[in-house]
Amino acid sequence: MSKTRVLVADDSSLIRSAITDVLEESGDFEVVAEAASGIETLMLARRVDPDIISLDVEMPRIDGLGVLTRLMRSQPTKVVLVSSHTAIGADVTLEGLSLGAIDFVPKASVGEPFEHFAGRLLHVFRTVQAAQTPGLRTTEPGAGLPVSSISDELRTPAVVGVAASTGGPDALNRFFGAFTQRPPVPFLVVQHMPATFTNRLASRLDRVGPLAILEATDGVPLEAGVAFVAPGDHHIASRDGVVVFDDHPPIGGLKPRADITFESLAVDHGPGALGVVLTGMGDDGLKGASSIVEEGGQTVAQDETSATIDGMPRRIREAGLAIASGPPEQLAVAIENTWTNATTPLAGRAQ
């Protein structure tokens, strides 16, 4: 099997060398070029046509965001951002994800063993290997099935849980941005992302639509029209209509894990629970979606052509748990239609 060809772009020769060594020692990747500036990155991208670009967000002359903007306009390519752990780094990274980058790798923090960074790097690059190249997606925002065909069997929920991983920031932006009015139900959101980034993600999502979107805190009551995003180092659950932190260790390497959130919604709200599974690698959400359906609730999943990685949603569809599937914005419109067209909402077990 041929190796995945990578262009490594970073203004630090030390970082370029470290990334190159980690990728090539894995046996799965071949670094075909290295760039020290944004201009050089764009020139080499045209010349070597890599499968993936490892892109530093802070580079001279043209920064990572400038490179992304130009690249996605003329030569869409899978991009992994390499960013700092700082709040500023988180903002820039999230902006890069909205511009078309598929995933990101936080740089090693002070005192962190290099092996930890190397492990993160390989995990992300192996995930991105399976992702769709942005320019090759067959579904653009707003395209796909008619909303009526998605929403015909949906009931009015009392609470909505949303799960996302790789490609999730873009999918969540599309999902929450499609609502036209503040929903009369609460949302719990699990996005696989480090703790430094989830608060910034919530702040960005809060600006895209009518919902109030906040990073969750332990003990806050569920509130209609508010979406609570799980912090990057906590599982979250619904208990008696209150958001609580779950102290279980990472499950399958994930903390937060959507299965815990979905299972709690099934117990707390029964047939009033609705699970939404968006893009991502792996099977998080599958066990929780099964619990929701067993308790009389419903689940929907992103469709294959609109997902950056059709892992998590595919598991839901193949298990026969999805009452409907479609692009994120169409799922949102279909969900909104359940209460705009309904005379009375469906009551959950605990309010």
Which pLDDT tens digit goes with each residue over 231-269?
A: 999 999 999 999 999 988 999 999 999 999 999 999 999
pLDDT of residue 59: 84
pLDDT of residue 196: 86
CATH 3.40.50.2300 residue ranges of the chain are 4-136
Let me know if 252 is exposed, middle or buried by CB neighbors in 10 A (0-12, 13-18, 19+): exposed
Are 116 and 278 spatial neighbours (Cβ–Cβ below 8 Å)? no
> CB count, 10 Å around CB of 141?
16
pLDDT of residue 284: 98
pTM of the model: 0.91
pLDDT of residue 149: 52
> CB count, 10 Å around CB of 300?
29
Cis peptide bond prior to 76, omega within 30° of 0: no
Closest CA to 222 of 186, 190, 258, 246: 186
CATH 3.40.50.180 residue ranges of the chain are 147-340
Q: Identify the CATH homologous superfamily for domain 147-340.
A: Methylesterase CheB, C-terminal domain (3.40.50.180)
pLDDT of residue 14: 92
pLDDT of residue 145: 45
- Is residue 42 classed as helix, strand or coil in its secondary structure? helix
What's the rounded Cα separation, in Å, for the pair 236 and 261? Answer: 6
pLDDT of residue 143: 46
* Angle, vertex CA 160, rays to CA 350 and CA 176, nearest 5: 145
Q: 264-289: string of b/e by CB count within 10 Å (b at 16+)?
A: bbbbbbbbbbbbbbbbbbbbbbbbbb
- May I ask the CATH architecture of the domain 4-136? 3-Layer(aba) Sandwich (3.40)
pLDDT of residue 126: 96
Task: Supply the residues annotated as catalytic.
Answer: 165, 192, 284
pLDDT of residue 277: 98
Per-residue model confidence as pLDDT tens digits over 23-50: 999 999 999 999 999 999 999 999 999 9
* pLDDT under 70: residue ranges of the chain: 1, 85-88, 110, 136-152, 342-351
